[in-house]
Structure 1
């Protein structure tokens, strides 16, 4: 469930909306040269993605993802408010929308994008990793298709005509993502696959998963080792009997 949730969260951040419809979004907000500003925002977002490489080495994933989701949600909420209270064509509103969209894409490239991918692939058990990640990406594909299909109806003035007010929905989804990560997603940075499995088998809560792994946390370790040794012993006895 955590793997599927982190996969769907990639779309729930609103990045597909911003990357696919931002030109039209800026046109509706009456911002001059919208395509140029979209290219500038994507170039700046690339710097955030590059900064994520050293950051993920030293900063825990849970705070990166939780804080990043709150900042992204606040950016989306601010874009919706700016468009709601400002008259159409306001140069100040246009500058605010451009700045907030750049902030959103940078934060996504720095925190949500890379961290969600990392957690999604580290969480599954080794023997079911490919099936779990494949299922998660399939669910994300369906959710992404649904969002891409519905977005034109929300932003098009001939339909619902929300325009940038559509950001209110993505603000809510980002806030929900931050709360979900805080409550349920364990810390995986610096953990081996065996340690991650032990977090679940020992039922260590997400809040305590950031603490250093100690002997107290390995409640089931002796049982797991004994079970594995028992399997190896059975295989050895079976091979020995076959040879006889």
Structure 2
């Protein structure tokens, strides 16, 4: 639609958005129910069937009975710590820390400078590139985003979430500072404009390899299983709130008839990204390789974020009365421990 100047230049792209609800609705309808939700409802047999749909067939390392038993045990541990499952419980006791982490991890997706990605075509134009080339770079941006996201699948199996998150913030901060300093060059310098455009492409690739996808792992792993859905709702609401602010101030920053920061906007977001990095270093734990029960134990013992990875846990130190009615589960848990 780049070359069109009539109303269909925006009507057609808007109309194309309506093709997505149908496949999404079909996917949601066919998706298996959450095993954790089924366990909380006491439907353990259905939880086992759902787990089998979510795991690879003939996996020698997977035992559905033991997995369900561990889920039951984790659920009872969380009930012993806190019986509530309301939104208020997200801000009580150790759950307050977990909600804080989930919320800020998601908010950092906006606060680390992704506003430049959202308005990338306009940003390229204000950096001095022609309209057509600005649009072409935006298309390249989305292609790099796909490659970065696919690459993150493999990186997540080798590196921890905390490692990828902190590493991503460090690189993004450096790139934003570089964009800001290059923008000091005269507007007539076309090489500087292309350098800014290239750095933003690298920025997008790094973001979609680290901060972007890792966030979705963290917001689902950090909250307790009984409060996960509510904690995710709180986190998403904060993300949307930050996105609204970002959507308001970024056009002012870039627009030559407003604040006229243009590519110097990189300095602002570099400062914001630095603050995010400091918070993540001191507050973001490493959940990789931990069961939900182990994560509960670490939060309950108030282990500092930087010591999560090496701290040992013991989930079977105390008895849980609920298993008195289920001897088979008791035996399974004893065998596992």
Both structures adopt the same fold (TM-score exceeding 0.5): yes
Per the TM alignment, residue 45 of structure 1 is displaced from its structure 2 partner at its CA by: 2.5
Show the 5 A alignment for 1:55-204: 55-84=155-184, 86-204=185-303
Per the TM alignment, residue 87 of structure 1 is displaced from its structure 2 partner at its CA by: 0.6
Per the TM alignment, residue 67 of structure 1 is displaced from its structure 2 partner at its CA by: 1.2
Aligned counterpart, 1:26: 124
Aligned counterpart, 1:42: 142
CA offset digits 1:16-60 (Å, max 9, x no partner)? x12321111111111131110111122123211111001101111
What is the TM-score with the length of structure 2 in the denominator? 0.64
CA offset digits 1:83-121 (Å, max 9, x no partner)? 12x110312101211211011001001010011111111
CA offset digits 1:160-182 (Å, max 9, x no partner)? 11111111121112222222111
Give the root-mean-square deviation of aligned CA atoms: 1.7
Structure 1: gaps of 5 or more residues:
237-244
Show the 5 A alignment for 1:222-241: 222=317, 225-226=318-319, 228-229=320-321
SS at match of 1:207: helix
Aligned counterpart, 1:241: none
Measure the CA separation in 2 of the matches of 1:103 and 1:19. Answer: 11
Aligned counterpart, 1:242: none
Aligned counterpart, 2:105: 6
CA offset digits 1:94-151 (Å, max 9, x no partner)? 1211211011001001010011111111100111111110011011111100110111
8 Å CA contact 1:49–1:109 kept in 2: the answer is yes
Q: Which has the higher helix share?
A: 1
Measure the CA separation in 1 of the matches of 2:285 and 2:247. Answer: 30
> How many correspondences in the alignment?
225
8 Å CA contact 1:29–1:89 kept in 2: the answer is no
What is the TM-score with the length of structure 1 in the denominator? 0.87
SS at match of 2:226: helix
Measure the CA separation in 2 of the matches of 1:11 and 1:47. Answer: 21
SS at match of 1:127: coil
Aligned counterpart, 2:54: none
Measure the CA separation in 1 of the matches of 2:108 and 2:252. Answer: 22
Runs of 4+ in structure 1 over 2 Å off: none
Q: Bigger shift: 171-180 or 121-130?
A: 171-180
Structure 2: gaps of 5 or more residues:
1-99, 327-337
8 Å CA contact 1:6–1:117 kept in 2: the answer is no
CA offset digits 1:173-213 (Å, max 9, x no partner)? 222222211111110112111111111012221111112x5
